[in-house]
Amino acid sequence: MDLRLIRYFLAIVDAGSVSGASQALFVTQPSLSRQLQRLEGDLGQPLFDRGRKRLVLSAFGQAFLPIARDLLQHAELAAASARALASGQAPKLTIAAPPATIIDIVAPFIARSGPSGAVVDAIQLVPEHVYTALHDGSADLALSTRVPPADLEWRVVGYTHPWAQCTPTYAQLTSFDRISVVELVSWPLIVMTKGHAIRGLFDDAVARAGLTYEPAYETASNSVAQALAAAGRGVCILSDHSRFGLHAIPVTSETGELHIPLYAAWVPRHFAADAIEGSLDALGGFIEQLYSLDP
């Protein structure tokens, strides 16, 4: 199968039209249409329903789409593998992760790894899009608190913990070495919006304790949550390291300290699998050490 035709097909799907794909590919529309027809001839089925005003995938096209993306992804991995082998150089890895994970974990890990470290770059993505960077080939590794999809290799590389963060003026809180959710719910709380892993973990712990609470503030931004706490508007619940001079106290439940698994994922048969495994071993030790310290 001609991978160039696969690339053309995916470009048409992503652009939503032959004209849009032709501009992105710098290929004329008639030529692109002919190449699409050639691919359909090779496959023996139409990829699009042409009886409609706009371009819509046929049932066969919808079924073939993930196969096409997988084919192209593996072809790109094979090309990257060949380049790495030809150069004789150690693989250089890129990690995709949410911004807070890059700031708190990935960047310090790169700094600690020294000149021989395999991880050399990071892509900031919202948690729900982190694993797509593996499928499109823009990253070699992905870190997220979300469970990876079944088509990826993965392992738990460490655990992050929620902290109650507040200004030193909250003297009753800052005197604690640990603080339970039972004690926290009586304070004005600044929490992440629902859908964030840290919010779900905290809410579940509160519910298990048979309690409820009304947030003082909800925000989708970790930095804004810390800024609100620094402004004296309440106590923020985050897994991020403290900033703005905030004092951080580990949060516990009736079953002990709370934690969130941090998953590392990569595509199966990645050409740099050995480098990935070695980097994850080092990253796991780094995270364990990192979260054994005060934030």
Per-residue pLDDT of the chain (295 residues; tens, 9 = 90+): 788 888 889 999 888 888 888 888 888 888 988 999 999 888 888 998 876 667 788 899 899 988 888 788 777 766 766 666 566 566 788 999 998 889 889 999 999 988 888 888 999 998 888 998 888 778 899 999 889 999 999 999 998 888 999 998 887 888 888 889 999 999 999 999 988 888 988 999 999 989 999 999 999 988 999 999 999 999 999 988 888 999 998 898 877 778 889 999 998 888 788 889 999 999 999 988 877 644 4
Can you give the pLDDT at residue 78? 66
| Cβ neighbours around 38 below 10 Å, total | 13
Can you give the pLDDT at residue 293? 44
The identity of residue 129, as a single letter, is H
Tokens of 29: 């529309």
Are the C-beta atoms of 14 and 4 separated by less than 8 Å? no
Can you give the pLDDT at residue 90? 62
Residues 6+ apart with CB under 8 A from 196: 127, 220
Report the C-alpha gap between 212 and 118 in whole angstroms. Answer: 46
Can you give the pLDDT at residue 242? 87
Report the C-alpha gap between 173 and 169 in whole angstroms. Answer: 9
Can you give the pLDDT at residue 88? 59
